[in-house]
Amino acid sequence: MTRRKYKPKLRFKKKKEMAVKAILILIFAGISAAAPSFYGSVKKSFSKTVNFSKENISSVKADLGNNFLDAEIKKTFSGLAGMKYSSSLEKNIREYFLKEKPFIGGLEIKHNPLTGTLSIKGKEEKPCAKIKESEYSFILRSGRVAENPYEKGDFLEVSCKKDCRFDASFAAFVEDIKKISENEGFYVKTLFYEGANSSPRVEFSDGSVADWGGYEFTQEKLKKLKTVFEDLKNKSEGPYKADLRFFENGKIIISQRKSN
């Protein structure tokens, strides 16, 4: 029996391994070359689908603590939809509020670049008195005068025909005299104001008046006047006229008020 000789196939195996490696290298090189263009196209397509920055205004949202006012502001600025938000646009909005809605304080204007929403926030500055000669004009606590058709309430009336410029000290005086007079049951009807250099005149519900002088000693003046007027009612018929401009010196001048 003839024995077959074994021939090793090492050389063929090595050739096969080398061929496989060569194929893998070519495949990897092809993928590497195609990768930049592939990811670039994906990135470009994704950026078209999702817009992370909306410079234009898509909608307007108002939060001013008053539903009617919110609706008015949204309607007023609804025309901004589609316009590009900018610092100059924000400045114009602030100027509008300063001129048309001066009773709005703490104004915040923000634009959301993700949603395109323009948010306008603020708070109504509450008035302390109403201008008698105007239906909607009020004196704010800062002393500024503002028209507010949405304001409702029982306010002390200030008659002003000449110099209707007020400051915070006058506004504080108005609040004090209204509150104290109500607590004393000695009600103030109207304040007559003729300018910062003039003494305000106070008219009471019984028709009596007083040249008030300075804004100090409001409670003391009211209590003293109430006592004096009640005492006078037993002696002479009112209404009366009082001069409190020298109250600090301990002087009060009282007379009968002449009928107009």
Contact at 8 Å (CB) between 255 and 241?
Answer: yes
Separation of alpha carbons 87 and 138, rounded Å = 31
Question: Which two tokens mark 245?
Answer: 């401009």
| Cis peptide preceding 127, ω within 30 of 0 | no
Please report the pLDDT score of residue 64 as a whole number. 94
Provide the whole-model pTM. Answer: 0.65
Separation of alpha carbons 43 and 7, rounded Å = 57
Please report the pLDDT score of residue 149 as a whole number. 83
The HSE-up count of residue 195 (CA atoms within 13 Å, CB side) is: 4
CATH code that applies to domain 127-256:
3.40.50.11690
Separation of alpha carbons 177 and 219, rounded Å = 8
Would you list the domain boundaries of the chain?
A: 59-124, 127-256
Contact at 8 Å (CB) between 116 and 57?
Answer: yes
* pLDDT tens, residue order, the chain (260 aa): 455 554 544 454 455 555 555 555 554 455 445 444 433 443 343 333 334 456 899 999 999 998 999 999 999 999 999 999 999 999 999 999 988 898 898 999 999 999 999 999 999 888 999 999 888 899 999 898 888 888 888 899 999 887 788 989 999 999 999 999 999 999 999 999 988 888 899 999 989 999 999 999 999 999 999 999 999 988 888 899 999 999 989 899 999 887 65
- Which class is domain 59-124? alpha beta
Helix extents (H) in the chain: 10-49, 67-76, 87-100, 168-184, 218-232
